[in-house]
Amino acid sequence: MLGRRPLVVILQQCRQYSSAPGFKPVPTLPNASLDMFRQHAFNQAMPALLPRQIFQGLPAVQKWFAEDSNPHAGATLNRSYLARYGSTIVPLEISHNDQFNRIEQPLSFFLECVYASSSTYRPRPSRYFSAYVPNARAIKQTKRSNEFFSAATITPPTARIYLAQAPVANLPHSLRADVPTPDIVLKAGQGDIYDSSIWLGQAPTYTPLHRDPNPNLFVQLAGTKIVRLFSPEVGRAIFAKVQEQIGGAASATMRGEEMMHGAERKALEDAVWNEQAAKLNTGFEAELETGDGMFIPKGWWHSIKGMGSGMTGSVSI
C-alpha cells in the first residue's frame, strides 16, 4: 500500500518516454530500489520503466554484441564469442510472406544465416532454408543481413529468421551467467520466477499482441524496441474484436502459431499499430534502448517491434 502518498505524485516525478498519439508514456521509476519497485510497480501491477540504461553493465550487453564500424548500421552479433556455443540447440522462427515455421537448430545455424557472406546470388535454393521456406533463395545483401531474397529481384526480403523465446535455462552455464536475474526480481516476492527467455534478430522484428502468464522484467540488450501495452481488460477487448473480425475462435490464454501469420497476424498488427485504430484504444507505450528495462505485469497485453537497423536483442526475466 502507498499509505497517504498517492501514486500519481510518484508518477509525476518519473521521466516519461512515448511518441505515439493516443498512448500514455510508461512512467519511469526515479530509482531502482527494491522498495520503489515493489510499491510503485510490482504490488500495483502497473507497467514501469526502470532508470534508463540501468542494465548497461549486463555481461550479455558487452559480450554478445559489438558496434558496427558504420555508426548508422546498428549493433552486430559478436560471432567469435557466440560461436563457442554453436552446438547449443535454440528455437528459431522463419517467416516468408504468409508462411511461418518454428524449428530448432544449433546456434551455429542461426549465426551462419545472419552472417551469410556470399556477394553473388545463387542459382539454386539456399541450403539453409530450402527445407523450411520454398523459393527463399539467394542469400546475402550485407554481412549483417539475415534477409533472403528472390533470385529475380533484390528489393523485397522473402524470408527472415528470428531466435525467439529461447529459454535461458537451456543455455550453457557461461551464457546463462551473462544474463543474471536482478535482485529486484529475486526479492520482489509473490510466486516463482518466470522462465527467462532470449530474443535475437535483425531489425525490424515484430511480436504480435499477447499476454504472459507471469509478470516479467523485459530488458533490452541491443538495438531499439517499441513496446505497446494494454491493461487486461483493454487487451481482452482488442483480442475479442480481432477474433470477431476474422471469424476466429482462438483462445486468449493458449496462443499458438496462428497469431504469427495469416489473417490474425495482420488484424492484430492493425489493431495495435495502425494509427487510426490505435486511437480507439487506451494503452501505454515505451521505447527501449540498450540497457533499458521495463516491468510488464501479469496479464498485461503487449506487442513489440524492433526498430532501426542492425541486431536487436532482449531478455525477459
Q: Please choose, from the candidates 244, 196, 219, the residue with its C-alpha nearest in 3D space to the C-alpha of residue 312.
A: 219
Residue 272, pLDDT above cutoff 90: yes
- Written as one letter, the residue type at 197 is S
* Residue 90, phi then psi, degrees to nearest 5: -130, 150
Residue identified by cell 527501449 is 288
Task: Find the mean pLDDT for residues 22-33.
Answer: 93
pLDDT, residue 153, reads: 42
Task: Find the mean pLDDT for residues 37-44.
Answer: 94
Q: Which residues contact 237 (CB under 8 A, 6 or more apart)?
A: none
pTM: 0.82
- Helices 232-246 and 262-273 cross at an angle (nearest 10°) of 130
Looking at domain 7-60+171-316, its CATH class is mainly beta
Computed over every residue of the chain, the mean pLDDT equals 80
For the chain, the domains span 7-60+171-316, 90-161
Residue 311, pLDDT above cutoff 90: yes
First to last CA, the chain: 25
- 120-164 tens-digit pLDDT: 334 444 454 445 554 444 344 444 444 544 444 443 345 788 999
Tell me the Cα Rg of the chain.
Answer: 20
Residue 66, pLDDT above cutoff 70: yes
- 97-121 tens-digit pLDDT: 777 888 999 999 999 888 763 323 3
| Residue predicted with more confidence, 142 or 23 | 23
Percent pLDDT > 90 in the chain is 53
* Cβ-contact 178, 64 below 8 angstroms: yes
pLDDT, residue 17, reads: 54
pLDDT, residue 122, reads: 42
Q: Please choose, from the candidates 238, 240, 277, the residue with its C-alpha nearest in 3D space to the C-alpha of residue 22.
A: 277
Task: Find the mean pLDDT for residues 32-58.
Answer: 95
Residue identified by cell 496462428 is 258
- Greatest mean pLDDT among 17-21, 267-271, 273-277 lies in 267-271
pLDDT, residue 258, reads: 64
Residue 85, pLDDT above cutoff 50: yes
The Cα–Cα gap between 114 and 72 comes to: 18
- 211-263 tens-digit pLDDT: 988 899 999 999 999 999 999 999 999 999 999 988 887 777 655 666 677 78
Task: Find the mean pLDDT for residues 24-30.
Answer: 96
